[in-house]
Structure 1
Amino acid sequence: MIYDTLRVIGSALGRMVYRPAIEGLGNIPRSGPVLLASNHLSFSDSVVIPLAVPRRVRFLAKAEYFEGPGVKGRLSKAAFTALGAVPVRRGSGRDAVDALELGLRVLKDGEIFTIYPEGTRSPDGRLYRGRTGVGHLALTSGAPVVPVALTGTERIQPIGARLPRVSPIGIRFGAPLDFSTGYGHLKTGPARRAVTDEIMAAIRSLSGQQDAGAYNDRARAA
């Protein structure tokens, strides 16, 4: 109930202030598990996507956003919870496995789960190589994958900026990709890599971003 109310109010305010160009909402199935795989340009991406999609969207957020002290900490926890965030710790290989398990649990429950295959925000607007966690989620869950391309969100809240700015943004949802069959002949690692590369190609086709041709090292450092 809180999520629905926040989404309706936030969506109305967001559309009035930012006037986003939204394309392809009809590509998101109306029910059942869906994996949204998006490029990542700004902290605000995790607000923009849930407010644009008519269904409840879940995504991972740093556990620190749920654990801050005082009034600010409580407000942060309430906001992220209402937006559909799932707290997760980052730093170790075990943390990465736990994050994927959380994503699979969301998909198993028939919900929408959002993942940023690049691992973290692009520092220069280019699209970096996807990490194979998205391939693991797609192959293990069998859920359709909807590629998402965000444009302009880096101008709303550039890396390091505390307060959002007003700037035009665009959100494009591509046609669902089905990875439930066709990869049984490959070993686990190559299958995840192939699926991940196909997803990233679909995102790049929607966003028009330049291919960085490498991993985002900021993701590994984080």
Structure 2
Amino acid sequence: MSRFRLIKAVLGPLLRVLFRPKIEGADRIPGSGPVILAGNHLTFIDSMILPLVTTRQVFFIGKDEYVTGKSLKGRMMAWFFTGSGMIPVDRDGGRGGVAALMTGRRVLEEGHPFAIYPEGTRSPDGRLYRGRTGIARLALMTGAPVVPFAMIGTDAVQPGGKGLPRIGGGRISVRFGAPLDFSRYEGMDRDRYVLRAVTDEVMSEVMELSGQEYVDVYATKAKAA
């Protein structure tokens, strides 16, 4: 049994007992081939929930600090995240964004699902913020369809994105939307107007799924302010 299957077999039932997740539209994820999963980001455990509610192993970018800890907790986090599909990348350096984009492209060209949070960081207040255009570049460079998704209630279970999840903090829902096809923009992955239009279309779908209020500024700017 692969480590991914082992993680799902052990933690999947525990997730269902503790948080009673409601999963909607998971059958909208194609059963094979490349696909981009694009969703909102409320709290740290979003990246722990997503791999447990999908049938296919989903790969995603994570901070390399999640897998470099030497303590028991650090080693357990590294075991979980690398086993569930996280690819560690140093995103703080000047080339972090390029490394993340190229990693996503490689995963998709190998025929795997790749998950991304277009906001680029966790929401500071539960609202949905402007998406960054890396999601659009990935879709246009690879031709992969985009399946929008929404995490609902994870911020109530883990407020502020820190500390242990609260048992009884509420029910978690994960909603997947219909695949979005952007093949009409083939070859236009360097047109900034097209990239913005594609990104905004994805974020509009995420907003419909999540029911969040939309804020047309980047979350990083909102945090700085």
With over 3 angstroms needed to count, the CA separation of the structure-2 counterparts of 1:92 and 1:9, relative to structure 1, is: same
Q: 1:16-35 to 2 correspondence within 5 Å? A: 16-35=17-36
- 1:145 matches 2:133: no
Letter in 2 for 1:103: G
CA distance in 1, matches of 2:61, 2:189: 29
Task: State the SS of the aligned residue for 1:93.
Answer: coil
Letter in 1 for 2:152: T
Please give the per-residue CA displacement for 1:29-52, whole angstroms capped at 9, x wherever unaligned.
Answer: 000011000100010000111100
Task: State the SS of the aligned residue for 1:204.
Answer: helix
Q: 1:171 maps to which residue?
A: 174
Contact 1:118 1:219 survives alignment (8 Å):
no
Query: How big is the shift at 1:182?
Result: 3.8
- Residue identity (%): 51
Q: 1:217 maps to which residue?
A: 220
CA distance in 1, matches of 2:42, 2:52: 17
With over 3 angstroms needed to count, the CA separation of the structure-2 counterparts of 1:181 and 1:14, relative to structure 1, is: same
The normalised TM-score by structure 2 is 0.92
Task: State the SS of the aligned residue for 1:36.
Answer: strand
Task: State the SS of the aligned residue for 1:138.
Answer: helix
Q: 1:180 maps to which residue?
A: 183
CA distance in 1, matches of 2:17, 2:95: 42
Q: 1:63-102 to 2 correspondence within 5 Å? A: 63-102=64-103
With over 3 angstroms needed to count, the CA separation of the structure-2 counterparts of 1:16 and 1:57, relative to structure 1, is: same
**Alignment gaps of 5+ in structure 1:** none
Contact 2:136 2:189 survives alignment (8 Å):
no
Letter in 1 for 2:181: D
With over 3 angstroms needed to count, the CA separation of the structure-2 counterparts of 1:220 and 1:209, relative to structure 1, is: closer
With over 3 angstroms needed to count, the CA separation of the structure-2 counterparts of 1:219 and 1:77, relative to structure 1, is: farther
- 1:193 matches 2:192: no
Q: How many residues align?
A: 221
Contact 2:153 2:171 survives alignment (8 Å):
yes
CA distance in 1, matches of 2:11, 2:150: 20
Contact 2:189 2:195 survives alignment (8 Å):
no
Letter in 1 for 2:10: I
With over 3 angstroms needed to count, the CA separation of the structure-2 counterparts of 1:220 and 1:89, relative to structure 1, is: farther
**Alignment gaps of 5+ in structure 2:** none
Please give the per-residue CA displacement for 1:60-108, whole angstroms capped at 9, x wherever unaligned.
Answer: 1110111112433322211111111000112233111001100111111
CA distance in 2, matches of 1:218, 1:158: 20
The normalised TM-score by structure 1 is 0.94
- 1:124 matches 2:87: no
Task: State the SS of the aligned residue for 2:156.
Answer: helix
Letter in 1 for 2:46: D
CA distance in 1, matches of 2:105, 2:47: 19
Q: 2:107 maps to which residue?
A: 106
